[in-house]
Structure 1
Amino acid sequence: MPGGAAEILGRSSAIAHLRDFVPKLGRCDAALLITGSTGTGKEHIARAVHAHSPRARKPFVAINCGAIPDNLFEAELFGFERGSFTGAYQAQKGKAVLAEGGTLFLDEVGELSPLAQTKLLRMLEEREVQPLGAARPVKVDVRIVAATNRAVEEQVEEGRFRSDLYYRLNVARIVLPDLAERREDIAVYLQHFIRHFNERTGMSVGGPDEELLGVLRDYDWPGNIREVRNFVEGVFIDPPCGKIGIDDIPQAFVQLQRSWRRTGADERARILEALEATDWNKAEAAKALRWSRMTLYRKLTKHHVTRGGLGL
Structure 2
Amino acid sequence: MSKLLIAEDEASIRRVLTKILTEEDQSFEIIEAEDGEQACKILESESIDLLLCDIKMPKKDGVEVLQFIKSNSIDLPVIMISGHGDIDTAVETMRQGAFDYISKPPDLNRLLNAVRIALKHDQLHKENKTLKKKVSKTYEMIGEASAIAEIKSMIDKVAPTAARVLITGENGTGKELVAHWLHEKSERNKKPFIEVNCAAIPSELIESELFGHVKGAFTSANKDRAGKFEAANGGTLFLDEIGDMSLQAQAKVLRALQEQKIQRIGSDKDVKVDVRVIAATNKNLKEEIKASKFREDLYHRLAVILIKVPSLKERIVDVDLLANHFLSLIAREQGIKPKSITKDALEELKQHDWPGNIREFRNVIERLTILGKSTIDAEDIKTYL
TM-score category by the smaller chain?
0.7 to 0.9
Q: Does 1:248 align with 2:380?
A: yes
Q: 2:234 aligns with which of 101, 108, 115?
A: 101
The residue aligned with 1:148 is: 281
Aligned residues of 1:5 and 1:47 also touching (Cα < 8 A): no
CA deviations on 1:132-175 (whole Å, 9 max, x unpaired) are 22341101100010000011122122322111011010101101
Deviation of 1:44 (Å):
0.8
Q: Does 1:132 align with 2:265?
A: yes
Aligned residues of 1:5 and 1:48 also touching (Cα < 8 A): no
The residue aligned with 2:162 is: 29
Say which SS state the counterpart of residue 63 (structure 1) adopts. strand
The residue aligned with 1:210 is: 343
Say which SS state the counterpart of residue 279 (structure 2) adopts. strand
- The percentage of aligned residue pairs carrying the same residue is 42
Deviation of 1:3 (Å):
6.7
**Tell me, which stretches of 5 or more residues in structure 1 are unaligned?**
254-312
Task: State the TM-score, normalizing by the size of structure 2.
Answer: 0.62
CA distance in 1 between counterparts of 2:238 and 2:346 reads 35
Q: Does 1:122 align with 2:261?
A: no
Q: Does 1:13 align with 2:146?
A: yes
The residue aligned with 1:298 is: none
CA distance in 1 between counterparts of 2:327 and 2:178 reads 21
Q: Let me know the Cα RMSD of the aligned residues.
A: 1.8
Deviation of 1:239 (Å):
3.5
Deviation of 1:127 (Å):
1.3
The residue aligned with 2:309 is: 176
Deviation of 1:7 (Å):
2.6
Aligned residues of 1:39 and 1:224 also touching (Cα < 8 A): yes
Say which SS state the counterpart of residue 18 (structure 1) adopts. helix
Deviation of 1:202 (Å):
2.6
Task: State the TM-score, normalizing by the size of structure 1.
Answer: 0.76
Aligned residues of 1:6 and 1:48 also touching (Cα < 8 A): yes
Aligned residues of 1:208 and 1:244 also touching (Cα < 8 A): yes
Say which SS state the counterpart of residue 138 (structure 1) adopts. strand
CA distance in 2 between counterparts of 1:210 and 1:144 reads 42
Aligned residues of 1:128 and 1:138 also touching (Cα < 8 A): yes
1:215-294 matches, cutoff 5 A: 215-241=348-374, 243-249=375-381, 251=383, 253=385
Say which SS state the counterpart of residue 34 (structure 1) adopts. strand
CA distance in 2 between counterparts of 1:57 and 1:193 reads 28
Q: How many residues align?
A: 251
CA, structure 1 residues 135+119, in 2 after alignment: closer, same or farther (shift >3 Å)? closer
CA distance in 2 between counterparts of 1:155 and 1:145 reads 19
Aligned residues of 1:234 and 1:250 also touching (Cα < 8 A): no
CA distance in 1 between counterparts of 2:193 and 2:359 reads 21
Deviation of 1:99 (Å):
0.1
**Tell me, which stretches of 5 or more residues in structure 2 are unaligned?**
1-134
Aligned residues of 1:23 and 1:53 also touching (Cα < 8 A): no
The residue aligned with 1:45 is: 178
Structure number with higher strand proportion: 2
CA distance in 2 between counterparts of 1:129 and 1:100 reads 11
Q: Could you tell which deviates more after superposition, 136-145 or 63-72?
A: 63-72
CA distance in 2 between counterparts of 1:250 and 1:236 reads 14
The residue aligned with 2:203 is: 70
Say which SS state the counterpart of residue 104 (structure 1) adopts. strand
Deviation of 1:237 (Å):
2.8
Aligned residues of 1:193 and 1:229 also touching (Cα < 8 A): yes
Deviation of 1:182 (Å):
1.2
Greater Rg over alpha carbons, structure:
2
CA deviations on 1:20-51 (whole Å, 9 max, x unpaired) are 22121111101110000001100110010011
CA distance in 1 between counterparts of 2:224 and 2:382 reads 48
Q: 2:215 aligns with which of 69, 74, 82?
A: 82
Say which SS state the counterpart of residue 67 (structure 1) adopts. coil
Aligned residues of 1:128 and 1:140 also touching (Cα < 8 A): yes
Q: 1:198 aligns with which of 325, 331, 335?
A: 331
Q: What code does the residue aligned with 1:24 have?
A: K
CA distance in 2 between counterparts of 1:132 and 1:159 reads 25
Say which SS state the counterpart of residue 332 (structure 2) adopts. helix
CA distance in 2 between counterparts of 1:224 and 1:38 reads 7
CA, structure 1 residues 171+48, in 2 after alignment: closer, same or farther (shift >3 Å)? same
Q: Could you tell which deviates more after superposition, 12-21 or 52-61?
A: 12-21
Say which SS state the counterpart of residue 195 (structure 2) adopts. strand
CA, structure 1 residues 7+201, in 2 after alignment: closer, same or farther (shift >3 Å)? closer
- RCO comparison, higher one (Cα < 8 Å, 6+): 1
Aligned residues of 2:319 and 2:346 also touching (Cα < 8 A): no
CA distance in 2 between counterparts of 1:5 and 1:169 reads 26
Say which SS state the counterpart of residue 249 (structure 2) adopts. helix
Deviation of 1:205 (Å):
3.8
CA distance in 2 between counterparts of 1:169 and 1:190 reads 34
Say which SS state the counterpart of residue 182 (structure 1) adopts. helix
Aligned residues of 1:6 and 1:49 also touching (Cα < 8 A): no
